[in-house]
Structure 1
Amino acid sequence: MSGVAKIYDAELNPTKEDIAARFGGIVSLLGSFRLVDWDDEVGIEVLIGSDLDGRHVQLPLTYRPSEVDPEHTLTEMDHSVLGHRWVSNALGDPIAVTQLIRTILEADDGATRSDGVPAALDIRGSGQPGETAGKHAAKLEVTDVTLHEATRQRAVGTVRVDGDVRSFELRMPHLLRRASTTGTDANTSRYALIGWLPSMPEKKRVVAELNFVD
C-alpha cells in the first residue's frame, strides 16, 4: 500500500464537485483515489466520475500550499483546516508524476484514506516486465523528475530510477478505456496503472501508461 493519505473534516470552496464539473466534465462524482507525497506537502488525488454520456472519466489533481506552476494551476481553494490551497493539473506537478511512476514500476496500489472511506477506484501498477503479475515489486528509488512538456493528459520528461536517468512519456487519458482481459496487448503499454471499481473488479480500466523512450 502506498501510504496513508490524511483526510480532514473540512469545508472546501470550491467543492470537489465544482472542480470535477468545471475541469473534468464530470456530472456525477463517484469519489477518488489517492497517492502520497512522502514529504507530506502535496496532496495527490484523482477524481473519478461519469460524464454526460455515462462514461467513466478521471481528473488528476494536486493540492499545494503555494503555486507550483501558473501554467498548470486550475483554480485556488479555501480549505477550512489547511487554509489557502492551489489546485493544479497533476501531470504538470513533478511530485505527482514521481509518485505515479513509482506506483507503476513497483506494482504498488493506491493510498489508504485516514478516514476509512474506500477509494472510488482500486488501482495497481504493472511492475516491470518479467515480474509476477499482481505482486508488489522491489522498492525503487524514483527521484528527480524534470518535466519538459505537460498537458492535462500527457507528461514528458526525465526521471532518475535507481540512479539511472530515463526519458519518459506518461499518459493519463481522460476517458478510462477498457483494459485487455488477456493481459497487456498491442494497445496497452507494458508499463501501466490499471484500475477497477470495487463493485466490478472484472472490468479493469487503463488509468495511466508509462513509456521509456531512451
Structure 2
Amino acid sequence: MALLHKADITPTKIDLLTSWAPAQPWFVGEADVSVTNLAAYRFDDPEGQVGIETILITAGDGPVLQVPVTYRDAPLAGAETSLITTMQHSVLGERWVYDATGDPAYLAAVANAALAGGRQAELTIEIDGQLVVREPTAVVAGSGTPGSAGVTPPAVAEINIHQEPGATIVTAGSLRIVVARVLGDEDVLANLAADAATHEVLAGTWAEQPTLRALVLVAVA
C-alpha cells in the first residue's frame, strides 16, 4: 500500500521532468515544452522508506515516455549519477529524487513484480483522518507465477546501466532488467527479448492505452 500525501512540492514533478527528461539519451519529443503527465503507477518499498513511482509522460507531439523515479529522505550512496534533483515536500521535508534505474529499491520491486506476477501498489490518501483508496491511473501486472520466490534486492555496487535506442538496460547481480523508455509504435522490448531467452514481462494499461503494453522485461541469469 502506498500512502499519498496532500502536499505542496517544489519543484513539481512536471517541472523537474520538463527540465531533466530532454537531456536524457532516450528522450523523444519536443524539448522546449512542458511535459504532460498521462498516468503513473507505484510499487511498495518493503522497508517503507523509499517512494517508488513510474510516471508516463509525453513532450508535445512525441510518443509516451516511461520515467521511473524514486524519492528518498537522504542521499543514496554511490548513486550520484542517477540523482535528478532534490525537492521540498511540505509534509515529508527534503526529498532526493533519483532516476530509478540506478536505485536498488526500484530494481528489486520491478523484478519481484515481473517474476512473481505482482501488481502495482494500492494507493491511499488520508482525508479528514480517514484513509481513502485512490484509483490508479495505470494498472500493471507481471507475467510470472504469483507466489513464486522473491528477488533479493541487488547491491548498489553491482548496478550497471546501458542505454539502447528507446530502452535502458540494467544488470544488477543475476538480474537483467530492460526498461522501455519510449512507448511508441515500435515495441522496443520485443527487439531486445532475444538477448534474454528466459524472461518475464511487466505490462500495463492506462486511459490512452486500453490494451496491454509491455513496459519492463526481467531475466535472471
Q: What is the TM-score of this pair, normalised by structure 2? A: 0.77
Q: What is aligned with 2:8? A: 11
Alpha-carbon offset, residue 122 of structure 1: 1.0
Alignment check: 8 A CA contact 1:91 1:151 kept: no
1:55 maps to 2:66: no
Structure with greater helix percent: 2
Secondary structure of 2:210 counterpart: coil
Which of these residues, 171, 188, 194, is aligned with residue 203 of structure 2?
A: 194
Alpha-carbon offset, residue 36 of structure 1: 0.6
**Letter paired with 2:19:** R
Q: What is aligned with 1:114? A: 124
Q: What is aligned with 1:162? A: none
**Letter paired with 1:121:** A
Secondary structure of 2:134 counterpart: coil
Unpaired segments of 5 or more residues in structure 1? 132-136, 159-166
Q: What is aligned with 2:73? A: 65
User: What's the RMSD between the two structures over aligned residues?
Assistant: 2.3
Q: What is aligned with 2:53? A: 45
Secondary structure of 1:140 counterpart: coil
**1:64-103 equivalences in 2 (<5 Å):** 64-68=72-76, 69-103=79-113
Deviations 1:60-116 (CA, angstroms, capped at 9, x unpaired): 100001111212111001000000110001111111100010000111111111033
Unpaired segments of 5 or more residues in structure 2? 23-33, 126-132
Which of these residues, 172, 178, 183, is aligned with residue 157 of structure 1?
A: 172
> How many pairs align?
190
Structure 1 pair 66–126 and aligned structure 2 pair: CA distance change class (3 A): same
Deviations 1:115-139 (CA, angstroms, capped at 9, x unpaired): 3333222111110xxx5xxxxx124
- Which stretches of structure 1, 4 residues or longer, exceed 3 Å deviation after superposition? 177-180, 184-190
Percent pairwise identity: 25
Structure 1 pair 92–151 and aligned structure 2 pair: CA distance change class (3 A): farther
Which of these residues, 179, 182, 190, is aligned with residue 175 of structure 1?
A: 182
